Chain A
Amino acid sequence: MSVKQISTNMLRGWIDGLLLQKTVIGPVQHQGHFRFESITSSDQLALDYDVTDLPPKKFLLPPREVMMTFRSSGEFQSVMEFHPFVLFGVHPYDMIAINQMDRVFSEKLVDIHYLTRRNACSIVALDPVAVAPHNFSGCMGTATVEKGWDLLLTPLPQDGYLLEIGTEKGNTLLHSIYELPDASLDQLQLREQRWNQNQKSMRRHELKCAPDDLPDLLEQNYDHPLWQEKSSQCLSCGACNIVCPTCYCFDIQDEVDWSLETGVRCRAWDGCLLRDFAEVAGGHNFRKQSAERYRHRFYRKASYLPKRFGEIACVGCGRCISACIPNISNPVEVYNQLVGE
């Protein structure tokens, strides 16, 4: 492990250098909102962003991706995308969501489409300085992140950043700059303070229990009236799925070319809140009531996936809270209401 110091100017110069060789994707401001997108100059980066509308998962698991091509005569051929790119400025909660997705797509069986793209990606994580209006990552233990990133940037109070090198891949990204000075002990302490502060401040909603207690809490409340009450306003729009960094459910669709000779099989985002998610041919729907679909999301995040992977699949980014029009999707409100009795 080695931690360096880098001035803001130097950082900007380094990014502009990277841009000569690679695609760099980072947070950019648009009318008060932030979006991860491909940049052409370091000036575009909004490194003091609070949260982006969509999580960076869209670059690893695109909304629509070609998995294979086919000929109508029956041959299928895999399509793998390997275009190296740098994902710049990923906040800890989003990094942890990516770590979780890495496990989903590689632990039991290997999803070569995801992994190829993931391998092409270098991640520069960034400790935030601004707290998004609904962020509760401090309660989820996801306000700081220890692994997954290739480089980790932590802003210093005055000017500049500390830069920790996590992997060889991260080291290679730094090839274009001269030796950076090591971080001083004081600076390392400032970094510690930043982490402590983020863990304390990133709690716009306060969870009344420990995240580890959530699976048991849910276990005891499957038939709680809350599911019905809250979901009675649900629009089944799936926005809470779309914006969530840990949602990865998908549909598979075929598209045929004009020629009718060839086509592509695509994977596209899907959402368990959508009406037809569990519907089968002939019309039977295994989760027909919106209450069943609404409840499923919370169980998947805080019971089903944790039982498989040992981690709560909610990183407290708060995006679902902002995205939900009837304002019913706040996980903390749901969990606290269950705790409260």
Chain B
Amino acid sequence: MDPQIDSPVIGHPSSDIYLPHPALITSMCSLTALDMLFEIHVPSPEVHTPSPGQFVEVSLPGIGEAPISVCSFSNHPHQFQILVRRIGNVTQALHQLQIGKSIGIRGPFGTTFPVDRELRKQNILFIAGGLGLAPLRSAIQYVLHRRWDYGKLIILYGSRTPDEQLFLEDLHDWKSRKDLTYLETVDRGGPNWKGRVGVITTLFSLLNLEDDPWSAIICGPPVMYSFVLRELRQRQIPNELIYVSLERRMKCGVGMCGHCQINGLYVCQDGPVFRYKDLIHLQEAL
């Protein structure tokens, strides 16, 4: 029998995987009517610096928990950003907080975009739909921090409407940079929108990917994946060089509660970042 079960352990709180660590909201900034960017400070030494692609469970006493991607990368330990869309109980309550309020944080959990491993020296194509830009932003920031370590970079970003575009400051920066290609589109334009209108896959016709090998990172709403993957297939990007970040309902974040399963995988532990090759035979994945 398992040794941990043989001898009585009276639980020490620090060993409670469900117990949130106290954290502080150090800044809040409304990005759209529904999306708020939070800067979070977690003093506990037990919470290590999130890697690009990971998420945290954000806890509000009396309301509950929600898994939220870390959307920034910095070497500053204990400090990171999250972007929260107001859509239900926890997210609504988070929007109503103020700077200086404390919240609970568990994690960071999950797998990471391999920016410090397989993706080094590679040409990377980032494809973000809507809120999917949040997790991708952590990888983009990481890559731009050490720009010399990567090949060509392309960022494709699709939003439903111009008003729903996130991280306008970053978008401006990316647009103006010479060391990457940034292309954006919206599903529905508006009177002041001068840019492209159309779903994200329309951006592919503007790209020439045939001459170099590319890796791709995708995150977006569930409907987006199959269309984007079809484009990538047509351009001969191999499945083992495609990474996706997936969303599922979550409760525990630690592979116990069963909610986030994709067939036999737990998105909270085996994901949220998956290599497409590892999902291709899983019927529930995409």
* Contact surface of A with B, Cβ cutoff 8 Å: 67-68, 70-78, 80, 82, 99, 102-113, 115-116, 118-120, 147-148, 167, 222, 248-254, 256, 260, 263, 265, 270, 272, 277-282, 284, 286-287, 292, 296, 299-300, 303-304, 307-308
A251 to B283, CA, bound (A): 25
Q: Is the CB of B257 within 8 A of A112?
A: no
List, in ascending order, chain A residues with CB within 8 A of B103's CB. Answer: 74
Q: Which of B79-95 contact A (CB under 8 A)?
A: 87-88, 91
Q: Is the CB of A109 within 8 A of B17?
A: yes
List, in ascending order, chain B residues with CB within 8 A of A299's CB. Answer: 263-264
B14 to chain A, nearest CB (A): 9
B137 to chain A, nearest CB (A): 21
The contact of A282 among B16, B63, B87, by CB within 8 Å, is: B87
Q: A270-B259, A278-B248, A284-B222 are in contact. Are A70 and B61 (CB under 8 A)?
A: yes
The contact of B256 among A102, A104, A308, by CB within 8 Å, is: A104
Interface centre among B13, B19, B61, B222 (most CB of A within 10 A): B61
Q: Is the CB of B19 within 8 A of A68?
A: yes
The contact of B263 among A248, A250, A304, by CB within 8 Å, is: A304
The contact of B63 among A254, A270, A300, A307, by CB within 8 Å, is: A254
Q: State which size class the interface on B falls in.
A: 35 or more
Smallest Cβ-Cβ distance to B22: which chain A residue = A74
Interface centre among A75, A112, A253 (most CB of B within 10 A): A112
The contact of B62 among A67, A77, A256, by CB within 8 Å, is: A256
Q: Is the CB of B249 within 8 A of A105?
A: no
Q: A68-B18, A78-B16 are in contact. Are A249 and B4 (CB under 8 A)?
A: no
List, in ascending order, chain A residues with CB within 8 A of B102's CB. Answer: 73-74
List, in ascending order, chain B residues with CB within 8 A of A73's CB. Answer: 61, 102
Q: Is the CB of B259 within 8 A of A71?
A: no
Q: Is the CB of B257 within 8 A of A119?
A: no
Q: A109-B256, A249-B259, A299-B263 are in contact. Are A119 and B17 (CB under 8 A)?
A: no
A-B residue pair count with CB separations less than 8 angstroms: 154
* Contact surface of B with A, Cβ cutoff 8 Å: 1-2, 4-13, 15-20, 22, 59, 61-65, 87-88, 91, 101-104, 222, 247-249, 251-252, 254-259, 261-264, 269, 283-284
A217 to chain B, nearest CB (A): 15
Q: A113-B11, A115-B4 are in contact. Are A254 and B61 (CB under 8 A)?
A: yes
List, in ascending order, chain A residues with CB within 8 A of B256's CB. Answer: 104-105, 109, 111, 248, 250
Q: A67-B18, A254-B62 are in contact. Are A286 and B248 (CB under 8 A)?
A: yes
A77 to B11, CA, bound (A): 12
Smallest Cβ-Cβ distance to A241: which chain B residue = B258
A109 to B17, CA, bound (A): 8
List, in ascending order, chain B residues with CB within 8 A of A279's CB. Answer: 249
List, in ascending order, chain B residues with CB within 8 A of A115's CB. Answer: 4-5, 9, 11
The contact of B19 among A78, A102, A254, by CB within 8 Å, is: A78
Interface centre among A115, A148, A300 (most CB of B within 10 A): A115
List, in ascending order, chain B residues with CB within 8 A of A280's CB. Answer: 247-249
Q: Is the CB of A116 within 8 A of B264?
A: no
Smallest Cβ-Cβ distance to B221: which chain A residue = A284
Q: Is the CB of A281 within 8 A of B88?
A: yes
Smallest Cβ-Cβ distance to A149: which chain B residue = B1
Show 27 residue pairs from A and B whose CB-CB distance is below 8 angstroms, ordered by the A residue: A68-B18, A74-B104, A76-B59, A77-B13, A77-B19, A78-B18, A80-B11, A99-B1, A102-B5, A103-B2, A110-B17, A111-B18, A112-B9, A115-B9, A167-B6, A250-B251, A250-B258, A252-B18, A254-B63, A263-B61, A265-B18, A272-B258, A277-B249, A280-B247, A280-B249, A292-B284, A304-B263
